[in-house]
Amino acid sequence: MKKMLIGGVLLALLLPFQVMAQNAFEGTWKVDINKVKASNKPLVVTLKGDEYTCNCTPPIKIKADGVDHAVTGHLSFDSDSVKIVDDHTIVDTVKKDGAVVNTRTTTVAPDGKTATFESINNRPSGATTVKGTLTRVKPGAAGSHAIAGSWLTSSYQSATESMMSYTYKIDGDAITMTNPQGESYTAKLDGKPVPYKGDPDTDTIAVKMVGNALQETTMKGDKETSVAKMTVSPDGKTMTTAVVYKPSNRDVTLVAAKQ
Protein backbone atom coordinates (compact mmCIF):
# COMPACT_ATOMS: atom_id res chain seq x y z
CA MET A 1 0.00 0.00 0.00
CA LYS A 2 2.81 2.38 0.92
CA LYS A 3 4.51 1.79 -2.45
CA MET A 4 1.23 2.39 -4.26
CA LEU A 5 0.70 5.68 -2.39
CA ILE A 6 4.25 6.86 -3.14
CA GLY A 7 3.84 5.87 -6.76
CA GLY A 8 0.56 7.77 -7.00
CA VAL A 9 2.10 10.89 -5.48
CA LEU A 10 5.07 10.78 -7.86
CA LEU A 11 2.76 10.33 -10.84
CA ALA A 12 0.66 13.29 -9.74
CA LEU A 13 3.80 15.40 -9.44
CA LEU A 14 5.18 14.32 -12.80
CA LEU A 15 2.02 14.72 -14.91
CA PRO A 16 1.98 18.55 -14.85
CA PHE A 17 5.60 18.60 -16.08
CA GLN A 18 4.75 16.14 -18.86
CA VAL A 19 1.82 18.30 -19.96
CA MET A 20 3.99 21.43 -19.85
CA ALA A 21 6.69 19.69 -21.93
CA GLN A 22 4.13 18.57 -24.52
CA ASN A 23 2.44 21.96 -24.73
CA ALA A 24 5.79 23.69 -25.32
CA PHE A 25 5.74 22.32 -28.89
CA GLU A 26 2.38 23.84 -29.81
CA GLY A 27 2.46 26.60 -32.41
CA THR A 28 4.05 27.40 -35.76
CA TRP A 29 7.82 27.15 -36.13
CA LYS A 30 10.13 28.40 -38.88
CA VAL A 31 13.61 26.98 -39.57
CA ASP A 32 16.55 29.40 -39.81
CA ILE A 33 18.43 28.33 -42.96
CA ASN A 34 21.64 29.89 -41.61
CA LYS A 35 21.60 27.61 -38.56
CA VAL A 36 21.14 24.30 -40.37
CA LYS A 37 24.01 21.95 -39.51
CA ALA A 38 24.59 19.02 -41.88
CA SER A 39 26.14 15.64 -41.21
CA ASN A 40 29.86 15.29 -40.53
CA LYS A 41 29.79 12.07 -42.53
CA PRO A 42 31.40 13.01 -45.86
CA LEU A 43 29.99 12.36 -49.31
CA VAL A 44 32.65 10.48 -51.27
CA VAL A 45 32.51 10.70 -55.07
CA THR A 46 34.72 9.21 -57.77
CA LEU A 47 34.50 10.29 -61.41
CA LYS A 48 37.26 9.34 -63.80
CA GLY A 49 36.52 8.99 -67.48
CA ASP A 50 32.84 8.08 -67.47
CA GLU A 51 32.86 5.90 -64.32
CA TYR A 52 30.90 7.48 -61.46
CA THR A 53 30.51 6.21 -57.89
CA CYS A 54 29.25 7.63 -54.61
CA ASN A 55 29.16 6.25 -51.07
CA CYS A 56 25.37 6.57 -51.04
CA THR A 57 23.37 3.98 -49.10
CA PRO A 58 23.43 1.58 -50.89
CA PRO A 59 26.48 2.71 -52.95
CA ILE A 60 25.92 3.75 -56.58
CA LYS A 61 28.22 2.87 -59.48
CA ILE A 62 27.10 3.90 -62.96
CA LYS A 63 28.34 5.36 -66.24
CA ALA A 64 28.38 9.17 -66.26
CA ASP A 65 26.89 9.30 -69.74
CA GLY A 66 23.64 11.18 -69.07
CA VAL A 67 21.60 7.98 -69.53
CA ASP A 68 19.21 6.52 -66.95
CA HIS A 69 20.72 3.50 -65.22
CA ALA A 70 18.76 1.15 -62.96
CA VAL A 71 19.78 1.18 -59.29
CA THR A 72 18.42 -0.94 -56.45
CA GLY A 73 17.92 -0.62 -52.72
CA HIS A 74 16.80 3.03 -52.66
CA LEU A 75 13.29 3.74 -51.37
CA SER A 76 12.65 6.98 -53.26
CA PHE A 77 14.21 6.24 -56.67
CA ASP A 78 15.01 3.33 -59.00
CA SER A 79 17.23 4.95 -61.65
CA ASP A 80 20.10 7.41 -61.70
CA SER A 81 21.64 9.53 -64.46
CA VAL A 82 24.87 11.52 -64.17
CA LYS A 83 25.70 14.03 -66.90
CA ILE A 84 29.08 15.75 -67.15
CA VAL A 85 28.37 19.36 -68.16
CA ASP A 86 32.00 20.49 -68.14
CA ASP A 87 35.20 19.82 -66.20
CA HIS A 88 33.72 21.44 -63.05
CA THR A 89 29.97 20.71 -63.24
CA ILE A 90 27.78 17.60 -63.17
CA VAL A 91 24.01 17.07 -63.10
CA ASP A 92 22.66 14.06 -61.20
CA THR A 93 19.02 13.10 -61.89
CA VAL A 94 17.17 10.33 -60.07
CA LYS A 95 13.79 8.92 -61.11
CA LYS A 96 11.08 6.65 -59.75
CA ASP A 97 8.98 4.69 -62.25
CA GLY A 98 10.23 7.03 -65.01
CA ALA A 99 9.29 10.26 -63.22
CA VAL A 100 12.00 12.71 -62.08
CA VAL A 101 12.28 12.74 -58.29
CA ASN A 102 15.33 14.95 -57.82
CA THR A 103 17.80 16.90 -59.97
CA ARG A 104 21.03 18.06 -58.35
CA THR A 105 23.52 20.33 -60.12
CA THR A 106 26.96 20.61 -58.52
CA THR A 107 29.67 23.05 -59.62
CA VAL A 108 33.19 22.98 -58.21
CA ALA A 109 34.95 26.30 -57.67
CA PRO A 110 38.05 27.05 -59.80
CA ASP A 111 40.34 26.46 -56.81
CA GLY A 112 38.70 23.08 -56.17
CA LYS A 113 38.25 23.75 -52.44
CA THR A 114 34.47 24.30 -52.46
CA ALA A 115 31.46 23.52 -54.60
CA THR A 116 27.93 24.88 -54.83
CA PHE A 117 24.86 22.74 -55.36
CA GLU A 118 21.22 23.25 -56.32
CA SER A 119 18.88 20.38 -55.49
CA ILE A 120 15.37 20.40 -56.99
CA ASN A 121 12.97 17.87 -55.49
CA ASN A 122 9.65 17.07 -57.20
CA ARG A 123 6.84 16.48 -54.73
CA PRO A 124 3.06 15.97 -55.02
CA SER A 125 2.60 19.54 -53.74
CA GLY A 126 5.13 21.00 -56.21
CA ALA A 127 8.87 21.35 -56.69
CA THR A 128 11.16 22.54 -53.89
CA THR A 129 14.71 23.84 -54.21
CA VAL A 130 17.65 23.85 -51.81
CA LYS A 131 20.95 25.64 -52.48
CA GLY A 132 24.12 25.14 -50.49
CA THR A 133 27.90 24.91 -50.36
CA LEU A 134 30.20 21.90 -50.06
CA THR A 135 33.73 22.00 -48.67
CA ARG A 136 36.32 19.52 -49.87
CA VAL A 137 37.94 17.42 -47.12
CA LYS A 138 39.91 15.06 -49.38
CA PRO A 139 40.97 15.28 -53.03
CA GLY A 140 40.04 12.79 -55.72
CA ALA A 141 42.46 10.57 -57.60
CA ALA A 142 44.82 12.17 -60.10
CA GLY A 143 43.23 12.69 -63.49
CA SER A 144 39.69 12.69 -62.09
CA HIS A 145 36.86 15.17 -62.68
CA ALA A 146 36.88 18.12 -60.27
CA ILE A 147 33.87 16.68 -58.39
CA ALA A 148 35.87 13.61 -57.32
CA GLY A 149 36.86 13.52 -53.65
CA SER A 150 35.29 13.74 -50.20
CA TRP A 151 32.89 16.58 -49.37
CA LEU A 152 30.99 17.98 -46.40
CA THR A 153 27.99 20.30 -46.64
CA SER A 154 29.32 23.42 -44.93
CA SER A 155 26.34 25.75 -45.34
CA TYR A 156 22.93 26.30 -46.91
CA GLN A 157 22.06 29.52 -48.71
CA SER A 158 18.36 29.12 -49.45
CA ALA A 159 15.41 26.75 -49.50
CA THR A 160 11.84 26.95 -50.79
CA GLU A 161 9.66 28.73 -48.24
CA SER A 162 7.19 25.85 -47.92
CA MET A 163 9.98 23.60 -46.62
CA MET A 164 10.86 25.84 -43.73
CA SER A 165 7.81 25.90 -41.45
CA TYR A 166 5.48 23.51 -39.65
CA THR A 167 2.73 23.70 -37.06
CA TYR A 168 1.98 21.52 -34.03
CA LYS A 169 -1.31 21.39 -32.19
CA ILE A 170 -1.69 19.58 -28.86
CA ASP A 171 -5.04 18.15 -27.78
CA GLY A 172 -4.77 16.14 -24.58
CA ASP A 173 -2.55 13.15 -25.32
CA ALA A 174 -2.69 13.68 -29.08
CA ILE A 175 -0.55 15.83 -31.36
CA THR A 176 -1.27 17.06 -34.90
CA MET A 177 1.40 18.28 -37.31
CA THR A 178 0.74 20.17 -40.55
CA ASN A 179 3.03 22.02 -42.95
CA PRO A 180 2.69 24.12 -46.13
CA GLN A 181 3.80 21.16 -48.29
CA GLY A 182 0.56 19.35 -47.49
CA GLU A 183 2.08 16.86 -45.05
CA SER A 184 0.23 15.98 -41.87
CA TYR A 185 -0.41 13.45 -39.15
CA THR A 186 -2.38 13.09 -35.94
CA ALA A 187 -0.98 10.73 -33.35
CA LYS A 188 -1.19 9.87 -29.69
CA LEU A 189 2.04 10.23 -27.77
CA ASP A 190 2.27 6.50 -27.22
CA GLY A 191 4.87 5.51 -29.81
CA LYS A 192 2.38 3.58 -31.94
CA PRO A 193 2.55 4.09 -35.74
CA VAL A 194 -0.18 6.14 -37.44
CA PRO A 195 -0.62 7.15 -41.11
CA TYR A 196 1.51 10.00 -42.44
CA LYS A 197 -0.08 11.98 -45.27
CA GLY A 198 1.45 13.98 -48.11
CA ASP A 199 4.91 12.42 -48.45
CA PRO A 200 5.39 9.53 -50.90
CA ASP A 201 8.51 8.45 -49.00
CA THR A 202 6.69 8.07 -45.66
CA ASP A 203 3.85 5.69 -44.82
CA THR A 204 3.64 5.92 -41.03
CA ILE A 205 5.02 7.85 -38.08
CA ALA A 206 5.31 6.98 -34.38
CA VAL A 207 5.45 9.82 -31.84
CA LYS A 208 6.30 9.85 -28.15
CA MET A 209 7.88 11.99 -25.44
CA VAL A 210 11.40 10.99 -24.40
CA GLY A 211 12.08 13.12 -21.34
CA ASN A 212 11.44 16.67 -22.50
CA ALA A 213 12.04 15.77 -26.17
CA LEU A 214 9.38 15.00 -28.75
CA GLN A 215 10.52 12.03 -30.82
CA GLU A 216 9.17 11.20 -34.30
CA THR A 217 10.08 7.95 -36.06
CA THR A 218 9.06 7.63 -39.71
CA MET A 219 8.59 4.40 -41.67
CA LYS A 220 8.27 3.37 -45.32
CA GLY A 221 6.65 -0.04 -45.31
CA ASP A 222 8.49 -1.96 -42.60
CA LYS A 223 11.68 0.11 -42.92
CA GLU A 224 12.60 2.90 -40.51
CA THR A 225 13.56 6.00 -42.51
CA SER A 226 14.29 8.67 -39.89
CA VAL A 227 14.31 9.49 -36.19
CA ALA A 228 13.85 13.12 -35.16
CA LYS A 229 14.19 14.45 -31.62
CA MET A 230 12.91 17.95 -30.87
CA THR A 231 13.55 20.06 -27.80
CA VAL A 232 12.24 23.53 -26.98
CA SER A 233 14.43 26.14 -25.31
CA PRO A 234 13.56 27.15 -21.71
CA ASP A 235 12.15 30.48 -22.93
CA GLY A 236 9.91 28.68 -25.46
CA LYS A 237 11.22 30.73 -28.39
CA THR A 238 13.30 28.17 -30.32
CA MET A 239 13.06 24.50 -31.16
CA THR A 240 16.11 22.38 -32.00
CA THR A 241 15.54 19.24 -34.08
CA ALA A 242 18.18 16.55 -34.52
CA VAL A 243 17.29 14.16 -37.36
CA VAL A 244 19.05 10.91 -38.21
CA TYR A 245 18.18 9.48 -41.63
CA LYS A 246 18.15 5.72 -42.11
CA PRO A 247 19.81 3.57 -43.29
CA SER A 248 22.62 6.03 -44.15
CA ASN A 249 22.84 7.33 -40.54
CA ARG A 250 23.47 10.81 -41.89
CA ASP A 251 22.15 13.54 -39.63
CA VAL A 252 21.04 17.15 -39.76
CA THR A 253 20.28 19.66 -37.00
CA LEU A 254 17.64 22.35 -37.48
CA VAL A 255 16.90 25.40 -35.33
CA ALA A 256 13.44 26.94 -35.68
CA ALA A 257 11.93 30.08 -34.16
CA LYS A 258 8.38 30.23 -32.85
CA GLN A 259 6.22 32.49 -34.99
In-domain check, residue 73? yes
**Statement to judge: residues 188 and 148 lie in one domain:** no
**% of the chain surpassing 70 pLDDT:** 92
Domain count, the chain: 2
In single-letter form, the type of residue at position 93 comes to T
Q: Would the pTM count as exceeding 0.85?
A: yes
In-domain check, residue 174? yes
Would the pLDDT of 56 be above 90? yes
Give 2-44 pLDDT, tens digit per residue.
Answer: 343 334 443 344 434 344 456 899 999 999 999 999 999 999 9
Q: Which of 242, 239, 194, 253 is nearest to 218 (CA)?
A: 194
Residue 45: is it exposed, middle or buried by C-beta count within 10 angstroms (0-12/13-18/19+)?
A: buried
**Statement to judge: residues 138 and 46 lie in one domain:** yes
Over residues 59-71, the mean pLDDT reads 98
Q: Which of the listed residues 110, 136, 161 is the one where a domain comes to its end?
A: 161
**Statement to judge: residues 81 and 140 lie in one domain:** yes
**Statement to judge: residues 107 and 197 lie in one domain:** no
Residue 20: is it exposed, middle or buried by C-beta count within 10 angstroms (0-12/13-18/19+)?
A: exposed
CATH of the domain at 126: 2.40.128
- pLDDT at position 93, please? 98
